[in-house]
């Protein structure tokens, strides 16, 4: 039987959270075992290079690194350089592309006007007012009350209904606290990010580098749940997976939304490649008759590699929202009071049964976190870890 007692810490999950914890604790001279059930590190941010075309494929959907956190930026840039990519996402309606989030150009294009900032702001306020909704009772009413019927119906309604797979009138108004509208030409998606970009060698390589340390042993294709009975109960464990799964769904399934990706290689010299030739990394699909929500063209993240951009092949991915089924890919937690309550019950049960296990990462915390947030939380966590 395996002797685990030579390790000071076991980290389950080699995503950004687990890799940060392992890297920091190994830096203290402690021995860390990282168990990852997939056949690669980097968790959901994982990307790898297609050797033929040089295109970096983001296996679980587009990932753009962006942060306002200087300490996280300083930490992550020890392992990689980033290119100067600035994320913009047009949204497609009736075959035409509009800047998203809504800006001055979106408004003028949709209404066929040529308004300046002040005029447009007044106009949108009047459109919202026209609807006469004082106490919005659901997502749809809230959306209309914020930007008026036309902007809401064109850009928000169908996209959200596809995302949540239900009518906007069934969704809570509380999901939509605001709809960002910019009365300028600024079309940056991450407007407040002090730093953003794509790692020049991809996400898989960053995490490999974080885990490159004589004090770290990484074992891929190992599910912790299958080996947990062999592990001493006094060995500290950081678990970056789903707590309901760990406890065999004893209290029920923690709800998530999931995604399905449909990928295709296209040649930009043919009609099939026309969409890719537009040169955007992501296009949002606003219309109800298009079942997917986003189309990704990963090559356009690689602005530091012109040879990748000019070669004619493109990897095109259509992203479909999907229901989550137990054991499937958990993407977006559904954070309402009922689910939070279930999560808290699981946390209590875990502490009773396995006081040596601490939950970590976006799955363990049952939260949606961007990569920088996962790293931030891991950096904070290791400060509390007395080993
Ligand atoms: C579609 C999508 C797009 C996103 N885009 C962005 C973006 O553009 N920018 C951004 O900053 N963030 C983005 N994110 C968020 C980003 O993916 C997360 O912040 C990041 O993956 C969190 O890292 P983590 O380590 O917490 O979790 P994960 O990356 O999920 O890692 C957890 C790891 O634990 C492993 N694991 C789970 N259970 C077990 C077990 N029992 N045994 C062994 N291993 C186990 C899993 O296999 C996984 O590899 C996006 C997320 C999604 C869903």
Q: Does residue 340 share a domain with residue 250?
A: yes
pLDDT at 74: 98
348 is an active site residue: no
User: Final residue of a domain: which of 167, 182, 197?
Assistant: 182
pLDDT at 367: 96
- Rounded to the nearest angstrom, the distance between the alpha carbon of 265 and the centre of ligand 1 is 25
Instruction: Write the pLDDT tens digit of every residue in 196-246.
Output: 999 999 999 999 999 999 999 999 999 999 999 999 999 999 999 999 999
CB of residue 16 inside a 6 A radius of ligand 1:
yes
Q: Taking the CB of residue 330, how many other CB atoms lie within 10 A of it?
A: 22
Q: For the whole model, what pTM was predicted?
A: 0.95
Q: Are 163 and 171 in contact (CB under 8 A)?
A: no
Instruction: Write the pLDDT tens digit of every residue in 22-71.
Output: 999 999 999 999 999 999 999 999 999 999 999 999 999 999 999 999 99
pLDDT at 387: 87
Give the whole-number percent of the chain exceeding pLDDT 70: 100
Q: What is the distance between the alpha carbons of residues 32 and 231, in angstroms, rounded to a whole number? A: 14
307 in a structural domain: no
77 in a structural domain: no
Give the CATH number, domain containing residue 231. Answer: 3.40.50.720
Query: Encoding tokens for residue 319?
Result: 């992203």
Q: Does residue 158 share a domain with residue 120?
A: yes
Instruction: Write the pLDDT tens digit of every residue in 247-303.
Output: 999 999 999 999 999 999 999 999 999 999 999 999 999 999 999 999 999 999 999
CB of residue 223 inside a 6 A radius of ligand 1:
yes
- Rounded to the nearest angstrom, the distance between the alpha carbon of 115 and the centre of ligand 1 is 42
Average pLDDT, the chain: 96
302 in a structural domain: no
Q: What is the distance between the alpha carbons of residues 346 and 70, in angstroms, rounded to a whole number? A: 34
Q: Does residue 177 share a domain with residue 130?
A: yes
Say yes or no to pLDDT of 9 above 90.
yes
Q: Give how many domains the chain has, as a whole number.
A: 2
pLDDT at 2: 81
Q: What is the distance between the alpha carbons of residues 318 and 323, in angstroms, rounded to a whole number? A: 16
Q: Does residue 175 share a domain with residue 121?
A: yes
Annotate 172-195 with DSSP letters as a single string.
-GGG-S---EESSS---SSTT-SE
CB of residue 18 inside a 6 A radius of ligand 1:
yes
pLDDT at 381: 98
CB of residue 350 inside a 6 A radius of ligand 1:
no
**Alpha carbon nearest to ligand 1 atom 38, residue:** 241
Give me the helix-helix angle, 117-130 and 139-147, nearest 10°. 140
- Rounded to the nearest angstrom, the distance between the alpha carbon of 376 and the centre of ligand 1 is 14
Q: Does residue 221 share a domain with residue 178?
A: no
Torsion of CA 307, 308, 312, 315, to 10 degrees: 180
95 in a structural domain: no
Q: Does residue 10 share a domain with residue 128?
A: no
Sign of the C-alpha dihedral, residues 239, 240, 246, 251? positive
Q: Does residue 104 share a domain with residue 250?
A: no
Q: Are 36 and 13 in contact (CB under 8 A)?
A: yes
Instruction: Evaluate the omega torsion of the peptide bond into residue 101 and state whether it is cis, within 30 degrees of 0.
Output: yes
Q: How far is CA 42 from CA 33, 48, 202, 208, 213, in A?
A: 15, 10, 10, 8, 16
Q: What is the DSSP letter of 199?
A: B
Q: What is the distance between the alpha carbons of residues 258 and 339, in angstroms, rounded to a whole number? A: 16
CB of residue 224 inside a 6 A radius of ligand 1:
yes
The residue to mutate among 21, 38, 40, 43, having the most atoms of ligand 1 within 8 angstroms of its beta carbon, is 43
Query: 99 falls in which pLDDT band (50, 70, 90)?
Result: very high
340 is an active site residue: no
191 in a structural domain: no
pLDDT at 174: 87
Query: 177 falls in which pLDDT band (50, 70, 90)?
Result: confident
264 in a structural domain: no
- Rounded to the nearest angstrom, the distance between the alpha carbon of 46 and the centre of ligand 1 is 8
Q: What is the distance between the alpha carbons of residues 144 and 127, in angstroms, rounded to a whole number? A: 9
Query: Encoding tokens for residue 85?
Result: 């990519």
Q: Does residue 363 share a domain with residue 215?
A: yes
Please give the residue range of the domain that contains residue 172.
100-182
- Residue listed under structure tokens 């137990």: 326
Query: 110 falls in which pLDDT band (50, 70, 90)?
Result: very high
Q: Does residue 162 share a domain with residue 113?
A: yes
Q: Does residue 240 share a domain with residue 114?
A: no
189 in a structural domain: no
Q: Does residue 360 share a domain with residue 220?
A: yes
Q: What is the distance between the alpha carbons of residues 93 and 154, in angstroms, rounded to a whole number? A: 7
Q: Of 67, 61, 63, nearest to 317 (Cα)?
A: 61
128 in a structural domain: yes
Q: Does residue 358 share a domain with residue 245?
A: yes
CB of residue 21 inside a 6 A radius of ligand 1:
no
């Amino acid at each position: 039987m395996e002797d685990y007692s030579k390790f000071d810490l076991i980290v389950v999950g080699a995503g950004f959270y687990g890799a940060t914890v392992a890297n920091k604790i190994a830096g203290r001279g402690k021995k860390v075992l990282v168990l990852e059930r997939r056949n690669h590190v980097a968790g959901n941010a994982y990307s790898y290079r297609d050797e033929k075309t040089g295109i970096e494929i983001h296996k679980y959907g587009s990932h753009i690194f962006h942060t306002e956190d200087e300490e996280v930026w300083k930490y992550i840039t020890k392992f990689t350089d980033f290119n100067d990519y600035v994320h913009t996402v047009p949204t497609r309606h009736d075959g035409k592309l509009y800047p998203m989030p809504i800006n001055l150009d979106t408004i003028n294009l949709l209404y066929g006007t040529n308004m300046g900032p002040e005029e447009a702001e007044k106009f949108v306020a009047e459109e919202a007012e026209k609807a006469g909704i004082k106490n919005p009772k659901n997502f749809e009413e809230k959306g209309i009350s914020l930007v008026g019927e036309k902007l809401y119906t064109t850009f928000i309604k169908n996209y959200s209904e596809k995302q949540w797979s239900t009518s906007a009138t069934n969704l809570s108004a509380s999901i939509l606290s605001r709809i960002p509208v910019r009365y300028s030409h600024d079309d940056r998606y991450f407007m407040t990010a002090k730093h953003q970009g794509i790692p020049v060698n991809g996400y898989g390589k960053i995490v490999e580098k974080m885990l490159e340390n004589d004090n770290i042993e990484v074992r891929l294709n190992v599910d912790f749940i299958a080996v947990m009975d062999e592990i001493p109960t006094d060995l500290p464990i950081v678990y970056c997976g789903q707590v309901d799964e760990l406890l065999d769904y004893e209290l029920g399934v923690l709800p998530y939304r999931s995604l399905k990706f449909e990928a295709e290689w296209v040649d930009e010299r043919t009609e099939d490649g026309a969409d890719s030739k537009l040169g955007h990394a992501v296009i949002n699909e606003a219309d109800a008759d298009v079942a997917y929500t986003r189309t990704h063209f990963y090559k356009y993240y690689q602005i530091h590699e012109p040879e990748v951009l000019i070669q004619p092949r493109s990897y095109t991915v259509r992203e479909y929202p999907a229901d989550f089924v137990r054991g499937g890919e958990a993407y977006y937690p559904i954070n309402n009071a009922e689910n939070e309550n279930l999560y808290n019950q699981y946390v209590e049960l875990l502490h009773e049964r396995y006081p040596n296990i601490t939950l970590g990462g976006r799955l363990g915390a049952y939260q949606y976190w961007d990569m920088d947030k996962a790293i931030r939380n891991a950096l904070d966590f290791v400060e509390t870890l007395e080993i």
